Structure 1
Amino acid sequence: MTAQTPRVGHASIDKVVEWVDTDASGHQHNSAIMRWVEAAEAELMRTLDLPDYFPSAPRVHQEISYRSKLWFGQLITATVEVQKLGRTSLTYAFEVRGHAHPKSTGGTAAFGTVTVAHVPPGFDTSLPWPGDLTEAITRLMAEDTDAA
Protein backbone atom coordinates (compact mmCIF):
# COMPACT_ATOMS: atom_id res chain seq x y z
CA MET A 1 0.00 0.00 0.00
CA THR A 2 1.55 3.28 -1.02
CA ALA A 3 -0.70 6.08 0.12
CA GLN A 4 -3.82 4.41 -1.30
CA THR A 5 -7.15 3.43 0.14
CA PRO A 6 -6.94 -0.21 1.28
CA ARG A 7 -8.78 -2.74 -0.83
CA VAL A 8 -8.29 -6.30 0.40
CA GLY A 9 -8.89 -7.72 3.88
CA HIS A 10 -8.41 -4.52 5.80
CA ALA A 11 -9.07 -2.90 9.17
CA SER A 12 -8.50 0.63 10.47
CA ILE A 13 -8.24 2.25 13.87
CA ASP A 14 -8.24 5.91 14.90
CA LYS A 15 -5.95 7.17 17.65
CA VAL A 16 -4.77 10.48 19.00
CA VAL A 17 -1.00 10.99 19.17
CA GLU A 18 -0.33 11.01 22.90
CA TRP A 19 2.70 12.51 24.64
CA VAL A 20 4.13 9.01 25.19
CA ASP A 21 4.03 8.52 21.39
CA THR A 22 6.34 11.50 20.75
CA ASP A 23 10.04 12.20 21.00
CA ALA A 24 11.61 15.30 22.55
CA SER A 25 10.64 17.47 19.56
CA GLY A 26 6.91 16.74 19.96
CA HIS A 27 6.34 14.61 16.86
CA GLN A 28 5.81 10.85 16.73
CA HIS A 29 8.58 8.50 17.74
CA ASN A 30 9.32 5.96 15.01
CA SER A 31 8.17 3.10 17.26
CA ALA A 32 4.67 4.59 17.55
CA ILE A 33 3.95 3.75 13.92
CA MET A 34 4.28 0.00 14.51
CA ARG A 35 2.21 0.15 17.71
CA TRP A 36 -0.64 1.76 15.76
CA VAL A 37 -0.25 -0.73 12.91
CA GLU A 38 -0.39 -3.61 15.40
CA ALA A 39 -3.54 -2.11 16.92
CA ALA A 40 -5.17 -2.13 13.45
CA GLU A 41 -3.92 -5.71 12.95
CA ALA A 42 -5.53 -6.68 16.28
CA GLU A 43 -8.79 -5.10 15.13
CA LEU A 44 -8.67 -7.22 11.98
CA MET A 45 -8.11 -10.41 13.99
CA ARG A 46 -10.96 -9.49 16.40
CA THR A 47 -13.25 -8.94 13.40
CA LEU A 48 -12.30 -12.37 12.06
CA ASP A 49 -12.73 -13.94 15.54
CA LEU A 50 -9.16 -15.33 15.57
CA PRO A 51 -8.07 -14.86 19.22
CA ASP A 52 -5.24 -17.43 18.99
CA TYR A 53 -3.46 -15.50 16.23
CA PHE A 54 -1.24 -13.23 18.36
CA PRO A 55 0.59 -15.69 20.55
CA SER A 56 1.63 -17.45 17.33
CA ALA A 57 2.50 -14.62 14.93
CA PRO A 58 5.97 -13.13 15.52
CA ARG A 59 7.13 -10.40 13.18
CA VAL A 60 9.84 -11.61 10.81
CA HIS A 61 10.20 -8.59 8.50
CA GLN A 62 9.03 -5.00 8.32
CA GLU A 63 9.64 -2.04 6.05
CA ILE A 64 8.53 1.51 6.84
CA SER A 65 8.70 4.62 4.70
CA TYR A 66 8.17 7.86 6.59
CA ARG A 67 6.58 10.76 4.70
CA SER A 68 5.62 13.36 7.29
CA LYS A 69 5.51 14.04 11.01
CA LEU A 70 2.59 13.40 13.30
CA TRP A 71 2.20 15.77 16.21
CA PHE A 72 1.09 15.50 19.84
CA GLY A 73 -2.71 15.77 19.90
CA GLN A 74 -3.14 14.93 16.21
CA LEU A 75 -5.76 12.36 15.17
CA ILE A 76 -4.37 9.52 13.06
CA THR A 77 -5.84 6.57 11.21
CA ALA A 78 -3.81 3.38 10.91
CA THR A 79 -4.94 0.86 8.31
CA VAL A 80 -3.69 -2.64 7.56
CA GLU A 81 -4.66 -4.80 4.63
CA VAL A 82 -3.78 -8.38 3.81
CA GLN A 83 -1.27 -8.29 0.99
CA LYS A 84 -0.35 -11.97 0.81
CA LEU A 85 -1.29 -15.14 2.66
CA GLY A 86 1.41 -17.79 2.41
CA ARG A 87 1.60 -21.32 3.76
CA THR A 88 3.44 -20.22 6.93
CA SER A 89 3.51 -16.42 6.63
CA LEU A 90 1.17 -13.49 6.24
CA THR A 91 2.16 -10.07 4.84
CA TYR A 92 0.25 -6.88 5.51
CA ALA A 93 0.55 -3.54 3.79
CA PHE A 94 -0.13 -0.60 6.06
CA GLU A 95 -0.62 3.12 6.02
CA VAL A 96 -0.74 5.66 8.84
CA ARG A 97 -2.45 8.93 7.93
CA GLY A 98 -2.59 12.09 9.96
CA HIS A 99 -5.70 14.24 10.01
CA ALA A 100 -5.53 18.04 9.78
CA HIS A 101 -3.78 19.62 12.78
CA PRO A 102 -2.41 23.10 13.55
CA LYS A 103 1.10 21.85 12.64
CA SER A 104 0.08 19.69 9.66
CA THR A 105 -2.37 19.59 6.76
CA GLY A 106 -2.55 15.81 7.26
CA GLY A 107 -2.02 12.99 4.78
CA THR A 108 0.14 9.90 4.64
CA ALA A 109 2.74 9.94 7.39
CA ALA A 110 4.09 6.40 6.96
CA PHE A 111 3.45 3.28 4.91
CA GLY A 112 5.06 -0.11 4.45
CA THR A 113 4.72 -3.82 5.01
CA VAL A 114 5.04 -6.22 7.90
CA THR A 115 5.35 -9.99 7.58
CA VAL A 116 4.49 -12.42 10.35
CA ALA A 117 5.11 -16.15 10.54
CA HIS A 118 3.03 -18.85 12.18
CA VAL A 119 5.11 -20.17 15.09
CA PRO A 120 2.82 -21.87 17.61
CA PRO A 121 3.76 -21.86 21.30
CA GLY A 122 6.36 -24.54 22.00
CA PHE A 123 7.81 -24.51 18.47
CA ASP A 124 10.97 -22.80 17.23
CA THR A 125 10.17 -22.82 13.53
CA SER A 126 7.22 -21.80 11.42
CA LEU A 127 4.42 -24.21 10.62
CA PRO A 128 1.46 -23.98 8.22
CA TRP A 129 -1.36 -21.70 9.36
CA PRO A 130 -4.33 -23.48 10.93
CA GLY A 131 -7.38 -24.01 8.75
CA ASP A 132 -9.59 -21.51 10.58
CA LEU A 133 -7.14 -18.68 9.85
CA THR A 134 -6.59 -19.55 6.20
CA GLU A 135 -10.35 -19.94 5.69
CA ALA A 136 -11.14 -16.61 7.39
CA ILE A 137 -8.43 -14.67 5.53
CA THR A 138 -9.27 -16.30 2.18
CA ARG A 139 -12.98 -15.54 2.67
CA LEU A 140 -12.22 -11.94 3.63
CA MET A 141 -9.98 -11.45 0.60
CA ALA A 142 -12.67 -12.92 -1.69
CA GLU A 143 -15.38 -10.69 -0.18
CA ASP A 144 -13.23 -7.57 -0.58
CA THR A 145 -12.32 -8.51 -4.14
CA ASP A 146 -16.01 -9.05 -4.98
CA ALA A 147 -16.88 -5.67 -3.45
CA ALA A 148 -14.23 -3.84 -5.54
Structure 2
Amino acid sequence: MVRTVEWVDTDASGHQHNSAIVRWVEAAEAKLFRELELPEYFPAAPRVQQTVNYTAKLWFGQQVTATVTVQRIGRTSLNLAFEVVGHAHDHHPEAVAAHGTIVVAHVPAGSATAQPWPDALRAAITPAAGGRP
Protein backbone atom coordinates (compact mmCIF):
# COMPACT_ATOMS: atom_id res chain seq x y z
CA MET A 1 0.00 0.00 0.00
CA VAL A 2 1.56 3.29 -1.11
CA ARG A 3 1.11 6.40 1.03
CA THR A 4 2.60 9.86 1.27
CA VAL A 5 4.04 11.16 4.52
CA GLU A 6 1.71 14.03 5.37
CA TRP A 7 2.39 16.92 7.73
CA VAL A 8 0.20 15.29 10.39
CA ASP A 9 2.41 12.17 10.18
CA THR A 10 5.51 14.06 11.35
CA ASP A 11 6.66 15.11 14.80
CA ALA A 12 8.53 18.16 16.08
CA SER A 13 11.84 16.86 14.72
CA GLY A 14 10.42 16.84 11.18
CA HIS A 15 10.35 13.11 10.48
CA GLN A 16 7.59 10.53 10.86
CA HIS A 17 5.98 10.06 14.22
CA ASN A 18 6.19 6.46 15.45
CA SER A 19 2.40 6.13 15.34
CA ALA A 20 2.34 6.81 11.57
CA ILE A 21 4.15 3.52 10.94
CA VAL A 22 1.49 1.63 12.91
CA ARG A 23 -1.34 3.32 10.98
CA TRP A 24 0.24 2.51 7.60
CA VAL A 25 0.81 -1.10 8.64
CA GLU A 26 -2.81 -1.40 9.81
CA ALA A 27 -3.97 -0.03 6.44
CA ALA A 28 -1.83 -2.62 4.63
CA GLU A 29 -3.22 -5.35 6.90
CA ALA A 30 -6.77 -4.24 6.08
CA LYS A 31 -5.94 -4.30 2.36
CA LEU A 32 -4.54 -7.84 2.65
CA PHE A 33 -7.64 -9.20 4.39
CA ARG A 34 -9.99 -7.39 1.98
CA GLU A 35 -8.08 -9.03 -0.89
CA LEU A 36 -8.48 -12.39 0.85
CA GLU A 37 -12.22 -11.57 1.13
CA LEU A 38 -12.19 -12.05 4.90
CA PRO A 39 -14.13 -9.14 6.45
CA GLU A 40 -14.89 -11.35 9.47
CA TYR A 41 -11.19 -11.16 10.41
CA PHE A 42 -11.34 -7.55 11.64
CA PRO A 43 -13.70 -7.69 14.63
CA ALA A 44 -12.24 -11.01 15.84
CA ALA A 45 -8.45 -10.49 15.67
CA PRO A 46 -7.10 -8.34 18.51
CA ARG A 47 -3.38 -7.78 18.69
CA VAL A 48 -1.61 -9.64 21.46
CA GLN A 49 1.92 -8.60 20.48
CA GLN A 50 3.48 -6.07 18.14
CA THR A 51 7.15 -5.39 17.54
CA VAL A 52 8.33 -2.43 15.49
CA ASN A 53 11.96 -1.91 14.51
CA TYR A 54 12.57 1.66 13.30
CA THR A 55 15.53 1.73 10.93
CA ALA A 56 15.32 4.97 8.91
CA LYS A 57 13.55 8.32 9.03
CA LEU A 58 10.74 9.33 6.70
CA TRP A 59 10.09 12.94 5.73
CA PHE A 60 7.10 15.10 4.81
CA GLY A 61 6.12 14.52 1.19
CA GLN A 62 8.00 11.23 0.88
CA GLN A 63 6.27 8.23 -0.66
CA VAL A 64 6.20 5.06 1.44
CA THR A 65 5.10 1.51 0.74
CA ALA A 66 3.77 -0.62 3.58
CA THR A 67 3.42 -4.37 3.11
CA VAL A 68 2.03 -7.05 5.40
CA THR A 69 2.45 -10.77 4.86
CA VAL A 70 1.19 -13.82 6.71
CA GLN A 71 4.05 -15.70 8.34
CA ARG A 72 2.14 -18.45 10.11
CA ILE A 73 -1.34 -19.40 11.20
CA GLY A 74 -1.65 -21.37 14.40
CA ARG A 75 -4.65 -22.92 16.10
CA THR A 76 -5.82 -19.64 17.68
CA SER A 77 -3.17 -17.10 16.62
CA LEU A 78 -1.80 -15.56 13.45
CA ASN A 79 1.70 -14.16 12.91
CA LEU A 80 2.14 -11.32 10.44
CA ALA A 81 5.32 -9.63 9.23
CA PHE A 82 5.47 -6.08 7.92
CA GLU A 83 7.85 -3.68 6.23
CA VAL A 84 7.60 0.04 5.52
CA VAL A 85 9.92 1.29 2.79
CA GLY A 86 10.60 4.97 2.17
CA HIS A 87 11.12 5.75 -1.51
CA ALA A 88 14.05 7.98 -2.55
CA HIS A 89 13.25 11.59 -1.61
CA ASP A 90 15.17 14.90 -1.34
CA HIS A 91 18.68 13.45 -1.02
CA HIS A 92 17.47 10.49 1.05
CA PRO A 93 17.94 7.10 -0.68
CA GLU A 94 15.28 4.41 -0.66
CA ALA A 95 15.43 2.56 2.64
CA VAL A 96 13.47 0.26 4.90
CA ALA A 97 12.13 2.65 7.53
CA ALA A 98 10.52 0.04 9.77
CA HIS A 99 9.90 -3.68 9.94
CA GLY A 100 8.46 -6.02 12.49
CA THR A 101 5.86 -8.54 13.47
CA ILE A 102 2.30 -8.65 14.72
CA VAL A 103 0.59 -11.51 16.52
CA VAL A 104 -3.20 -11.56 16.65
CA ALA A 105 -5.49 -13.98 18.41
CA HIS A 106 -8.86 -15.23 17.17
CA VAL A 107 -11.39 -13.96 19.71
CA PRO A 108 -14.86 -14.14 18.14
CA ALA A 109 -17.73 -11.97 19.34
CA GLY A 110 -19.11 -13.20 22.64
CA SER A 111 -15.90 -14.96 23.65
CA ALA A 112 -13.50 -13.72 26.30
CA THR A 113 -10.68 -16.04 25.22
CA ALA A 114 -8.95 -17.10 22.02
CA GLN A 115 -10.74 -19.77 19.98
CA PRO A 116 -9.61 -21.89 17.00
CA TRP A 117 -9.77 -20.15 13.63
CA PRO A 118 -12.82 -21.17 11.56
CA ASP A 119 -11.99 -23.64 8.78
CA ALA A 120 -13.02 -21.22 5.99
CA LEU A 121 -10.81 -18.46 7.34
CA ARG A 122 -7.92 -20.89 7.85
CA ALA A 123 -8.31 -22.18 4.27
CA ALA A 124 -8.19 -18.63 2.88
CA ILE A 125 -5.20 -17.60 5.00
CA THR A 126 -3.03 -20.72 4.59
CA PRO A 127 -2.14 -20.03 0.92
CA ALA A 128 -1.17 -16.47 1.92
CA ALA A 129 1.19 -18.02 4.47
CA GLY A 130 2.96 -19.95 1.74
CA GLY A 131 1.22 -23.19 2.64
CA ARG A 132 2.78 -23.30 6.11
CA PRO A 133 0.46 -24.71 8.82
TM-score, length basis structure 2? 0.93
Structure 2: distance between partners of 1:31 and 1:18: 13
Q: Which residue number in structure 2 is paired with residue 49 of structure 1?
A: 37
Aligned length: 132
Q: Is the 8 A contact 2:69 2:129 kept in 1?
A: no
* Residue identity in the other structure for 2:92: S
Q: Which residue number in structure 1 is paired with residue 75 of structure 2?
A: 87
Q: Is the 8 A contact 1:37 1:80 kept in 2?
A: yes
Residues 1:142 and 1:97: Cα distance change in structure 2 (over 3 Å): closer
Residue 130 (str. 1) matches residue 121 (str. 2): no
Q: Please, which runs of 5 or more residues in structure 1 have no aligned partner?
A: 1-12
Question: What percent of counterpart residues are identical?
Answer: 62
Alpha-carbon displacement from aligned partner over 1:83-123 (angstroms, at most 9, x marks no partner): 11111110111110000111521210011101011111221
Superposition deviation, residue 141 in structure 1: 3.3
Q: Which one of 53, 63, 86 corresponds to residue 75 of structure 1?
A: 63
SS in 2 for 1:69: coil
Residue 18 (str. 1) matches residue 11 (str. 2): no
SS in 2 for 1:41: helix
Q: Is the 8 A contact 1:71 1:103 kept in 2?
A: no
SS in 1 for 2:126: helix
Q: Is the 8 A contact 2:66 2:85 kept in 1?
A: yes
Structure 2: distance between partners of 1:49 and 1:76: 25
Q: Please, which runs of 5 or more residues in structure 2 have no aligned partner?
A: none
SS in 2 for 1:129: coil
Q: Is the 8 A contact 2:79 2:102 kept in 1?
A: yes
Structure 1: distance between partners of 2:52 and 2:33: 22
TM-score, length basis structure 1? 0.84
Structure 2: distance between partners of 1:123 and 1:90: 17
